[in-house]
Structure 1
Amino acid sequence: MQTFSTDHILHTLEQELPFLFQKDLTYEIYSPGIIFQDPINRFQGQQAYRLIFWALRFHRRLFFTHLTFNVHHIRPSDANILVATWTLEGSLRLPWHPKIHFTGSSTYTIHQGLITTHTDIWDTKPQVILAQLFKPALKQEK
């Protein structure tokens, strides 16, 4: 199994994360036993990790007229940890055109040249994010 330097992993994340809703990731930098966790999910294994990102891209096309994942920065917090901060925002394909917007961070732990854990922290509680789906977007004046 190939392993990678932290700099290579950082560069790969910088190139791929902004487009995670448009195209697939390079999974060679992830451990076969990667653990993913966010406020509502926990999965283990590269196959489950691939499925998560496939589902994100599928749901983007199905439910959103627009969805962006703005990566503010990705920085090392120590020799084996990278932290990305980001904002997710979009417009849903519903008659009342609700908007979704929240910020968070992703922490990637690297062990023996591969990402072994990916933990997302959302700055907004999941129930508050869900409530955004029921709030009509403000109409712009003509």
Structure 2
Amino acid sequence: DYHVNVGYAIRTLREELPVLFHRDLSYQIYREDISFRDPVNCFHGLGNYKFIVQVLRLNGRMLFKSIWVEILSVWQPSESTIVIRWSVRGIPRVPWEARGLFDGVSEYKLDSKGKIYEHKVHNVIFNSPPKCKVATTVSDLVAAT
């Protein structure tokens, strides 16, 4: 039963995280008392976890006209842990904003039945494009080429 649940959790995460901003997750892989931690927040309970996902989806849709999650790698450093390295990319709704790019790692802890009881997000990096100097003269334009 444990290995079946772990396999189901890995498959579910691989399938659902890329479309996180477009449809709700199925929550069968999580325990009712799941805890969520990131560098700023800590929440407990499946109801709060669902709320966090809904707020994330809403903010993503408000700020970006197109947003998606790319799974970069999935591994199991131990029997009771699933680690996913991901990248969130988005095209902003306003043309003067730079494209959004966030990289991070999600670590999921599994109980003895293979259900997720903890989700930690860490190593989140916002990768903004390099700033460009505004050309104010013709010599600035020539120097830039």
TM-score interval, smaller chain: 0.7 to 0.9
Where structure 2 has 5 or more consecutive residues not aligned to the other structure, the ranges are 133-145
Tell me the secondary structure at the aligned position of residue 116 of structure 1. Answer: strand
Amino acid at match of 1:121: H
Paired with 1:61 and 1:89, the residues of 2 have a C-alpha distance of 12
1:92 maps to what in 2? 92
1:39 maps to what in 2? 39
Pairwise CA RMSD? 2.2
Amino acid at match of 1:85: R
Paired with 1:73 and 1:19, the residues of 2 have a C-alpha distance of 16
Amino acid at match of 1:64: F
Amino acid at match of 1:117: E
Q: How does 1:56-95 map to 2 (within 5 A)?
A: 56-95=56-95
Identity %: 30
Paired with 2:114 and 2:89, the residues of 1 have a C-alpha distance of 32
TM-score (norm 2): 0.79
Where structure 1 has 5 or more consecutive residues not aligned to the other structure, the ranges are 137-142
Do the aligned residues in 1 keep the contact of 2:76 with 2:83 (CA within 8 Å)?
yes
Structure 1 runs of 4+ off > 4 angstroms? Answer: none
TM-score (norm 1): 0.80
**Number of residues paired by the alignment?**
128
Q: How does 1:15-34 map to 2 (within 5 A)?
A: 15-34=15-34
Q: Based on CA coordinates, which of the two structures has the bigger radius of gyration?
A: 2
